[in-house]
Structure 1
Amino acid sequence: MIKETIEEIVDRTLNSWVENEANQLPCDIEEAMLAPDQPDEEWKFWLPVKSTVTDTELQELEAETGFVFPEDFKKFLKHKHFYELQISEISFCPHPINVWRASLREMMLDTYPREFLFDKGYIPFALYSDWGLLCFDTHHHNAVVRWDHEDAETFEYQYQDFYELLTEISKV
């Protein structure tokens, strides 16, 4: 059985969003990601674009946060920019061109009080339905855990790594 790559999973999902016109938001869209024809003045269509994220930028963010991103997550960040990426019940942190670092920094450090997650070694990177967040568990080789926002002490193991998360949720 041939395994799909991170890039193939992301591309398939984002292509579906564009084909089904789910790629629109009621906000300002970065010019490089703005679709050419805009039928509405309030809701804007965005297009996924090739990522401009560099190894240097990732290293700078890692130095700033003190967290070294898993290699499979770096590959994800270096593939495409998008405003929304939802696969199954998982909504990934927005990754727009030019402001992706601020978006990821906000998800990691400001979504919930730092003492609940980041300061305990749990690095948020996606929303999980209306339950809470998916986080990297720095205590267990960056396995993916689900944090329930209604019980700040509950971290439930979900996947051994980011790649396993993507491949499993894309099957649904």
Structure 2
Amino acid sequence: MSITKTYIDKALALVERNKEYLMYEQEVHPEMRTDADWSAIKEKSSKMNLEQDGATTELLNLISANDSFWKAIENTITDHDIEKLEAHLEITFPESYKEYLRYKHFYTIFLDNDIRFYPKPIGSWEQILKDNNEEMREILLDRGYLGIGNYSDYGEVCFDFNDSADHPAIVMIDYESGEPEMLAENFTALLEMIIAKPEPVVTELKAWEKKMYGVS
């Protein structure tokens, strides 16, 4: 199996193991919606931590009645869909990213607490890519970068097409400075680096955190 598919499958397994905290959205496409076992969920802690060595710790909230669980479904994205998006953005995706786009539909999945690629749900995956890049056009598209995800609260994970249009490096564009920071020599190398790390772990809040957040 390719590194791209391995990354997606492992990331899906991570969120599925902790679905009450990681696998829900306020709005879910009807084809991706799945039922919740509320009798089991109500026994869970309202807040947990998501920890990973060398990465930012995230506070997680338990799914609420206003949210819906989602499930991954088989891909519907065609080569023609990708070609139309490339024409709109005036770039050509590397083959590794095309493979990523063509493998399953899902919302937010990850194996690195800091690096979250854009959600890829059926019906809106293309608009998500367009909107995120158009909103930051002056620091991304106009400067030779294409955003594909977020790096914590610090910046945008991007392809850098300035040095190579065929084999773009992956950089993080800092939100404050607008400057690039190298993450990996290409998309495949980034996935390999992420997979090699210990996976994030959902953990109980510390005593002082429970007191601060009012968690019994």
Tell me if both proteins adopt one fold, taking TM over 0.5 as the criterion.
yes
Q: Please point out which of 129, 134, 150 is paired with 1:104.
A: 129
Tell me, what secondary structure is at the counterpart of 1:157? strand
Correspondence list, 1:2-151, <5 A:
5-21=3-19, 22-25=22-25, 27-37=26-36, 39=38, 41-88=65-112, 89-110=114-135, 112=136, 114-141=137-164, 142-151=168-177
Amino acid at match of 2:169: A
8 Å CA contact 1:72, 1:163 repeated in 2: yes
Aligned-CA RMSD value: 1.6
* 1:157 maps onto 2:155 in alignment: no
TM-score, normalised by the number of residues in structure 1: 0.90
8 Å CA contact 1:50, 1:79 repeated in 2: yes
Unaligned runs of 5+ in 1: none
1:38 Cα offset (Å): 6.0
List structure 1 segments (4+ residues) > 4 angstroms apart after TM superposition.
none
Aligned length: 166
Unaligned runs of 5+ in 2: 39-63, 198-216
1:56 Cα offset (Å): 0.3
Amino acid at match of 1:107: N
Higher RCO structure, 1 or 2 (CA under 8 Å, sep 6+): 2
**C-alpha separation in 1, matches of 2:129 and 2:177:** 23
Residue identity (%): 30
Pair member with larger Rg:
2
1:94 Cα offset (Å): 1.1
**C-alpha separation in 1, matches of 2:83 and 2:173:** 26
Distance 1:11 1:145, change over 3 A: same
